[in-house]
Chain A
Amino acid sequence: MSIRKKLEKYIRVYKIFFTAYWKSRLIYKTDFFLGVTSQSINLVFNLAFLTLIFTQVESLQGWTFHEMLLLAGFSGLILNLHHIFGFGLYSLGETYIIEGRLDRYLVRPLNPLFQVYANYISDDNVSKLLVNIGVISYAVFHIETTILTLTNLLYAVLAMASGVMILASIFLAFSSTAFWTARSKAVFWLFFEVSNFRKYPYSIFSTPIQLFLISIIPIAFASFFPVTFFLGRDEWFIWQMLSLIIGPFFYLISYGIWKIGIRNYSSTGS
């Protein structure tokens, strides 16, 4: 089969998965609406914390309130974009390996990873995404330097694409541990805790933490470095450029881990 035909087939299958997901989701309307509301409230409360910090200082190591809103908003946007389509991996151990669903995926003539992705849409993140777009717009409007330039927009698109791949690579690597342990949810606590670091300027952390944020959980490439580009901070130039190309690189490494995992996989036999 040619690559084009293959791609068309995958898009067609994804659409079917997508509609099936929404149909099953909207049966439980209360759950859906409560989930959407609570996630949005959660995000607004998190931002409220930022306003409390700025009752203490004018700027945090040279970062104003609105600049930090942009940082929280833009990195949040990348996170939401990834989570909408990629969050299924979070329960790889619990939902797919232990319950034996992965066995079904392995015998189908489709990439098993694709099926795990296609099986789950994180709709809560759609509402968060909208809130984050609002946050970014508010921040862009209030920051004195002009953010809305053609270069910045072009950079933003590329940085988002690369950033989503960085998050996907983190998720893929973390969840692949389930091939050995049959559990994946538990290892994600590290990611969820560390992902809060993305909302603060990278420069406030000590060197070991900075190294951690560009290697094991390389979230700085999907938050801090791109945002310094929008704000015209040239001292981070190399990192800003690296942020655009490093996503696919990390994803390839993670896909390698996934491949090794799936080769070692033996069914739990349920």
Chain B
Amino acid sequence: MGLLSSVIFLILFYFVWFAIDQSGTIEGGFEQVIAYLVAGQIVSNIAFVETEKFMGERVRRGTIVNELKRPLSLMTQTYFHEMAWMLFNFLTKAVPIAIVGVFFFGIDMPNLINGLFFLFSVFLAFNVVFLFAYSTSMLVFWTKVDWSIRMMRSTAQSLFSGVLFPLYLLPDTLNTVFNLLPFQVMVDAPIQIFIMSATGTEIYEILLKQFIWIIILYGLAYLAWKKARAKLTVQGG
């Protein structure tokens, strides 16, 4: 999502939540929902990388042999390719959205400590998203097409991670389910630090949870690549 897309998204949901606020009471209030959604746009614009297209193009054209020849693993190469995008998106999208958020939506910025932990948590979220996307993009070795896989992953990702709907408003049972999924640490976790609803040791718990998911998903990505490598057929030449 680009900068203007994020702004239009925020305008739409500003009015939707305003209407919800007028028709009932929102736990934590209207302002907190808006701060949550703005923070969600900041996080997702930085952390939501897509590896399916990178992989799909190379698998279809057979140029993936070039990556495989190099003395670095495919995962490392993809990782730094996506990291460059992440830094680019940080400067060109996330920073402007934060500015728009402060001036037009009137949200509060976190204090210095939470701000720094927030950035670190977003970086961890980027790693979670990367490993998850890398695992699903291994499916490209079987399907040869990437856009449908990417679309399914990113739809699930936006619904369960908190980009579309503040997870703290979920009914208890649903909340438990959402919290057990890896998506929660992609967006909701850093947002909690941003909107200052997590402070002190709660921050460490959030970061620890992100680390645990990184280890689990690294295992998954590694296994997926092993399977995919055995399957690899280079088309043409």
Contacts and interface: CB of A to CB of B under 8 A. Distances in A.
Interface stretch (B66-74, B119-127, B162-170): B162-170
Interface string A165-209: 000000000000000000000000110011011001100111001
Contacts of B169: 52, 55-56
Contacts of B165: 49, 52-53
Interface in A27-57: 28, 30-31, 34-35, 37-39, 41-42, 45-46, 48-49, 52-53, 55-57
A58 interface: yes
B180 interface: no
Interface residues of A, number: 35
B16 A53 contact: yes
B144 interface: yes
Contacts of B5: 189, 193
A193 B5 CA distance: 6
Contact of A31 (B9, B18, B22, B145): B145
Main secondary structure of the interface of A (DSSP, over half): helix
A31 B159 CA distance: 24
Contact of B152 (A30, A42, A46, A55): A42
A57 B4 CA distance: 29
A34 B15 CA distance: 35
Contacts of A58: 23-24
A204 B26 contact: no
B20 interface: yes
Given A37-B148, A41-B152, A189-B2, A60 B8 contact: no
A45 B156 contact: yes
Nearest to A61: B19
Nearest to A204: B19
A35 B151 CA distance: 9
Nearest to A189: B5
Contact residues of B: prevailing secondary structure? helix
B20 A49 contact: no
Interface in B140-157: 143-145, 147-149, 151-152, 155-156
A206 B15 contact: yes
Chain B, interface size category, equals 20 to 34
Given A34-B148, A204-B18, A209 B159 contact: no
Contacts of A41: 152, 155
Contacts of A28: 145
A172 B156 CA distance: 32
A193 B9 contact: yes
A190 B5 CA distance: 7
A266 interface: no
Interface string A13-37: 0000000000000001011001101
Contact of B19 (A37, A193, A201): A201
A57 B23 contact: yes
B16 A45 contact: no
Contacts of A268: none
Contacts of A267: none
Contact of B145 (A30, A60, A206): A30
Contacts of B208: none
Contacts of B8: 190, 193-194
Interface string B28-67: 0000000000000000000000000000000000000000
B16 A200 contact: yes
Contacts of A189: 2, 4-5
A61 B22 contact: yes
Given A204-B15, A204-B19, A34 B149 contact: yes
A26 to B, nearest CB: 14
Contacts of B149: 34, 38
Nearest to B145: A31
B143 A30 contact: yes
Contacts of B234: none
Interface in B164-194: 164-165, 169-171, 174
A206 B156 CA distance: 31
Contacts of A49: 159, 164-165
12 contacts: A30-B145, A31-B148, A38-B152, A38-B155, A41-B152, A45-B159, A57-B20, A58-B24, A60-B19, A60-B23, A61-B19, A190-B8
Query: Which 6 A-B pairs have CB atoms at the shortest separation, nearest pair first?
Result: A34-B148, A57-B24, A38-B148, A204-B19, A193-B8, A31-B145
